[in-house]
Amino acid sequence: MRFLRVLAVATGFIALLSQSSAAQDQRQFKDAWFWGVKAGALSYSSASTTTGGAPLVGAEMLITRSHGGLYMSLDQAFFSTTGGFQDRDPDSSFVRHTALKNMYRFTMAGLAFPMQTRNVHPYFGGGLLFNQIASASLQSGTVTSARYQIALDSIQSKKATFTPIFIGGAQVRYRPMSAFGQVTLSPIQQSFFLANPNSSRSFDLSLEFGVRYNVGSSIDRAR
C-alpha cells in the first residue's frame, strides 16, 4: 500500500510538471509577467582598488508589452575592500580609511524589445540604480566624540547613491523556463565610496545570467 501511495504521488507530481511545461510553452513573451533569479559578477573600484570583481546574486521581475516593458531587480554583491573620505582637523586635511563590506542594489528600468522571434528576445534599455554599502566602519579611532560624529556623518553621505543604469541582453525561451544573459553599465559617482579618484574607469559593469518563469498575463483580458 505504501508503494502504491508513493507511486500515486509521483505520478501526480509528474503530471503537474507536464501541465506547467505545456502552459509555459503556450504563453507568449509579450503581455507577460516574469519572475527570475540570477547570478553574475560586478566590477568596482574603491580607494584601495582600481579594478575589483565581486560575485553578484539577485531576484527580479519583468513585465512585458508588445514592444517594451518594465524591469525591476534587487541584488547583492559580495566583497571586502577599503574606502576613504576627506577628514579635516583645524590644522590639516587627510583621508580617513573605512572598511567596506558587501553592497545592495535596486534597479528600475524601462526596456525595449527589438527584433523579436518566437524563442529569442533581445532587449535594451535604461533606468535608475540605487547602490548602498551594507557595512561601513572606521579603520582607526578619532580623538574626540565630536570628531567621531563628524566621521560618521561623512560615512553616511558616501554610503549610498543613485545613478543611471543601462541594460542590454537577450532572453531565450525553453521549457519550462527561459534563460537570459545581460550586461549592465552604470556611471561611477565620485561621491560614492566605490570610486577611485586615481582610476580612469568611468563605468561599473556587471555580467549576469539567470532564469525567468512566466507566471501569466500582465494585463486583464476581457472575459
Q: What is the pLDDT of residues 127-164, one digit of tens each?
A: 999 999 999 888 776 656 777 777 787 888 889 999 99
- Reduced to 3 states, what is the DSSP secondary structure of residue 137? strand
d(CA 139, CA 161): 22
Count Cα atoms within 13 angstroms, Cβ side, for 130.
6
Q: Could you tell me whether strands 160-173 and 178-187 are parallel, antiparallel, or unpaired per DSSP bridges?
A: antiparallel
Contacts of 75 (CB under 8 A, 6+ apart): 38, 56, 57, 58, 104, 105, 106, 107
Q: Is domain 28-217 classified as CATH 3.40.50.720? A: no
d(CA 169, CA 182): 4
Would you list the domain boundaries of the chain? 28-217
- Reduced to 3 states, what is the DSSP secondary structure of residue 149? helix
Binned at pLDDT 50, 70 and 90, residue 11 comes out as very low
Predicted local confidence at residue 214, as pLDDT = 94
Average pLDDT over residues 89-117: 85
AA identity, residue 210: G
Predicted local confidence at residue 19, as pLDDT = 42
